[in-house]
Structure 1
Amino acid sequence: MTGSTKLSSGAAGAGELVAEAGPPDATFGEPSARKSRWSWVGLVASLAIFAASAFVLWRTAHTISAADVLAALARVSAGQLGVAMLLVAVSYLLLTGYDFLALRQMRIKVPYRTTALASFTSYAVSFTLGFPLLTSGAVRYRIYAARGVRAPQIASLTVIAGITFWLGMGVVLGWSLMAEAGAISLLAHTSIFINQLAGLLTACAVVGYLIWVSVKHRYVAVKGWRLELPGLRLSLGQMALGAGDACAAAGVLFVLLPDGHGVNFATFLAIYVCACMLGIVSHAPGGIGVFEATMLVALSSLPGSQVLGALLLFRLCYYLLPFLLALALLSGYEIVKRLKSGRDSLCDDSGGGAGPGLRREAS
């Protein structure tokens, strides 16, 4: 983004974004040729992950019958579904905290009901449709713009919410890889040393980030916009919130697994987080295909039909049902918004002058 307009000043608060005139300097980006090379590397890696996952799913499908999957679905109890839906609610409730903390960092006051609506609907839509910068950004803008939040600020909010997600995933992955290195090695067929090393490096990265933001104010550039990152205190809140969300989301699938699987939750957490990360890297909507393939490989010691049945129910509970609820809420929001706009227009037409308008402005 370019332009000469300053979107923040000393009095506006450090959490605002700043647009600077002229071409981006060295702080704001790399040469376009280098960016182009890395974009191709990312594209090839994403396609490779997706292709490998598709192959795994294709091979697995030939060893599992539809009847076995239906039987596995039938074995899931009402109690399991009830706990799963409760954990879905907890996860999405914690997701609203992502936007809440981001708005607090940016010193923007928005009622929590608006924050909850924008957060829930944006995540539910982007989780299912993919392309989160486009889908979640559009939903957030539609709701937050009515509260005076500008597009650059919404972009800033999205960045801070993303940091919350990765801090939570990082702390959960680092802890589970180190604490359950042996159990994970048996499931994933990796060495205990590799698991411990990966967990240690992940934990060091999280701790390093926390130290980095605690020393002084840190800024990142988003297409020429300068954004201050949260400090240590708020970052710790982000980490706790993200970790809680990751545990709740993983718990949804964990309780849907067949009884007597013998996998403890800490071990399962590491597998779940790795599967989520691979799904994100693949850029597939909701990590579909990649997430399932990773879980099927990691839990290959369990009956494949039962794991696949649990994965299908997980998609239904965590993705499809919230997506349908989000569409209903967005539709209701638009209807109420249009009715209110029509009512205001009628008031203006019937006022016959500036009096009513002035009274509304004064109120």
Structure 2
Amino acid sequence: MKNKIWAVIGLAAVIFSIWLLSKELRGLSFAEFGDTIAAISGLDWMLAICATFAAYLALAWYDHLALMHLKRSVPWRFITVCSFTTYALSHNIGASVISGAVVRYRAYSSRGLTTSEIGVLVAFCSFTFALGTILLAGIVLLLEPSLTERFVDVLPVTASTTTGAILLGLVAVYVAGSWFGLRPLRIGSFELLYPRLPVVWRQLLVAPVELAAAAAIIYFALPAEGNPGYLIILGIFLVSFSAALISHAPGGMGVLELVFITGLPEMDPVAVLAALVVFRLLYLIIPLILALGVVIGFERYQLAADPRK
């Protein structure tokens, strides 16, 4: 039932976002769009591809850190492939926590992890993403407090800097909780321990690197004309990607585009849309195709290993 509810929410978010987006892009010339894509230089394509590799390498470390936290040993290659497959599928399917949990359960249960341990692993990875978002958002708001004016023009600059300081304060509280060994969080029979400091430091590095690299894909694909700079692009990306995850829209369809076009009024909407097409191709579509191949290969291996299935 929950899966159906999230599917309906995701579909509604897609329809609403595309409707709003169609109003923003009224009069779009497809010839102009094609010219904009063709104008992206070979160097910028290479930089965007390198940023994609960096983002997915960092994503692989989410699972590595979770297993380090659980003190469970799983082969490095298996973890990396599982993490890549999980994120490539969940980013495209939507309802990422649920879809990601299904993939991880199928993979890690074959390596002896219990349902409870896989639940902790999923929660840990989701929290690591949230931690990276909070940390980077705090830094961006302190360095570029004018970012919020792109979405809400009634807030004073001091509100942005204050919000940034609060966000960084929350990260500091989390680090302090690990440092001083505070009591674990308990929800019914579920228990979540504070990670050890070596794990926390890695979280504070890996999650921001992944998000910064993903935002860089869009930055490199955007033209120089009207480009407000990498920090602004990063801030808008954090807003758009978080909105896409909350909406549960498959691939953030329509949501990413709407937030970016709203947040970059000084840029040609066609150029923004072209950059997001590059992002979808490199960060979503190509990884999805590779991930489907991994899933098919894994299931065939499982069937061959157990002829009773």
TM-score of the superposed pair, with normalisation by structure 1 = 0.76
Letter of the 1:246 counterpart? L
Q: Paired residue for 2:225?
A: 260
Correspondence 1:121 to 2:82 = no
Matched residue SS, 1:149 = coil
RMSD: 2.6
Q: Cα distance, 1:286 vs. partner?
A: 2.9
Q: What residue in structure 2 maps to residue 244 of structure 1?
A: 209
Consecutive unaligned residues in structure 1, runs of 5 or more: 1-39, 346-363
- Contact 1:85–1:317 (CA under 8 A) maintained in structure 2: yes
1:159 paired residue among 120, 123, 136: 123
Match status 1:111 vs 2:75:
yes
Superposed CA offset, 1:270-329 (max 9, x none): 111111122222222232212211110111110111111111121111001101100111
Aligned match for 2:192, one of 204, 227, 252:
227
User: What SS class does the counterpart of residue 226 from structure 1 fall into?
Assistant: strand
Aligned equivalents of 1:341, 1:79: Cα separation in 2: 48
C-alpha distance in 1, partners of 2:148/2:178?
Answer: 34
Q: Secondary structure at the match of 2:71?
A: coil
Q: Counterpart in 2 of 1:312?
A: 277
User: Once the 2 structures are TM-superposed, how far is the Cα of residue 83 of structure 1 from its aligned partner?
Assistant: 1.7
Residue 282 (structure 1) aligns with = 247
- Matching residue of 1:212: 177
Q: Which amino acid aligns with 1:153?
A: E
Match of residue 6 from structure 1? none
Give 2:110's match in structure 1, choosing from 132, 141, 146: 146
CA gap of 1:185–1:50, structure 2 versus 1, over 3 A, is same
Percent identity between matched residues is 27
Alignment partners' CA distance in 2, 1:132 and 1:233: 27
Which position in structure 1 is the counterpart of 2:295?
330
In 2, Cα distance between equivalents of 1:143 and 1:50: 30
Structure 2 distance, partners of 1:221, 1:282, is 27
Structure with the greater alpha carbon radius of gyration: 1
SS in 2 for 1:103: helix
Instruction: Give, in whole Å, the separation in 1 of the partners of 2:214 and 2:298.
Output: 27
CA contact (8 A) 2:97 2:126 kept: no
TM-score w.r.t. the length of structure 2 is 0.88
Deviation at 1:52, TM superposition (A): 6.3
Shift of 1:188: 4.4
User: What pairs up with 1:11-50 in 2 under 5 angstroms?
Assistant: none
The CA deviation string for residues 70-117 of structure 1, in whole angstroms up to 9 with x for no partner, is 221121223222221221111111111101011011111101111111
Change (3 A) 1:180 1:93: same
Tell me the secondary structure at the aligned position of residue 116 of structure 2: helix
Alignment size in residue pairs = 301
